[in-house]
Amino acid sequence: MSVLAARQNCSVRQLQRDFAEVLGITPRQFGQALRTNHTRAALRSADTVLDAAFAAGYGSVRGFYEEAARRLGMTPSDYVAGAPEQVLLWSMTAMAVGDVIAVATPRGLAAVRIGNAAELEAEIREEFPNAMLGRDDAAMSDVMSALRALAAGLDAPDLPVDVHGTVFQARVWSSLREIPAGETRTYSEVAEAIGSPTAVRAVARACATNPVALVVPCHRVMRRDGNLAGYRWGLSIKAALLASESA
């Protein structure tokens, strides 16, 4: 960190302050996120996992496997192979807001998406081409009932999630789950709630990359002037969800 500060002609303390103001995370956390992205790219392009480890900047194979597995959600070898033998259950149902698909690992929901049934299923299969994807509407019935309630603006039991992102994204997503149904927050208010009042744009990006719609209610965040702003699944769906919750 001292080397980076020297290159920027500032103190380490100033460097940390700048990162917190702009990105809402520390330089170390930013570096870890970059290395995770480099790891994904290296695993896709390198000839061997060992080559990928060194290409991503890891000093030891053990450290590579321990950290990469934690951040990728699986071992590096499994990631390269497209998540083979990773058991993922999924279910899909039509709701008033559109078709909703949910994908779950043994630890919780990995994806909840809204859109067209055929496109949603194709998207999931492309993301994990070698995983053991199995549709099991019976096993997922409680999950889908909870999602149906959330889409209708009704109370629902908390659903566990198994999502992976940066430290900053995790903070934003956790904060969003604390917004009660029927209420909204501005991007600025969310930034303040997580202790990064100047990271408004970063909060907006975290909302846009939310992998579990409805469960992490990014639809409850809007601009300060009351404009709905963007929504990954469409503004009409965002408006409908907010209207249901207000009712």
Please write the tens of the pLDDT for every residue from 30-62: 766 666 666 666 655 656 656 666 666 665 556
What integer is the mean pLDDT of 118-135?
84
- Inform me whether the pLDDT recorded for 143 exceeds 90: yes
Does the residue 202 lie in any domain? yes
| Residue 247 burial (CB count, 10 A) | 8
Does the residue 151 lie in any domain? no
Residue given tokens 């302050």 in the structure block: 17
The secondary structure element, H or E, covering residue 70 is helix 61-72
pTM: 0.67
Same domain as 63, residue 25 = yes
**Contacts of residue 188, Cβ cutoff 8 Å, sequence gap at least 6:** 197, 200, 224
d(CA 139, CA 137): 6
| Domain end call among 95, 122, 138 | 138
Give the CATH number of the domain where residue 46 resides: 1.10.10.60
Give the CATH number of the domain where residue 234 resides: 1.10.10.10
Exposure letters 212-244 (e unless 16+ CB within 10 A, then b): bbbbbbbbbbbeeeeeebebbbeeebbebbbeb
Question: Does residue 16 sit in helix, strand or coil?
Answer: helix
Does the residue 179 lie in any domain? yes
Structural tokens at position 124: 């999931």
Domain count for the chain, please give it: 3
Same domain as 231, residue 172 = yes
What integer is the mean pLDDT of 138-160?
93
Asked which of 36-40, 227-231, 241-245 is least confident by mean pLDDT, the reply is: 36-40
Exposure letters 167-182 (e unless 16+ CB within 10 A, then b): ebbebbbebbeebebe
Structural tokens at position 139: 């096993």
Catalytic pick among 147, 218, 237, 241: 218
d(CA 106, CA 161): 10
Residue 17: per-residue pLDDT: 78
Residue given tokens 């019935």 in the structure block: 141
Which structural domain range is residue 129 located in? Answer: 87-138
218: annotated active-site residue: yes
Instruction: Return the C-alpha torsion angle 23, 29, 35, 38, nearest 10.
Output: -30
- Inform me whether the pLDDT recorded for 75 exceeds 70: no
Residue 230: per-residue pLDDT: 85
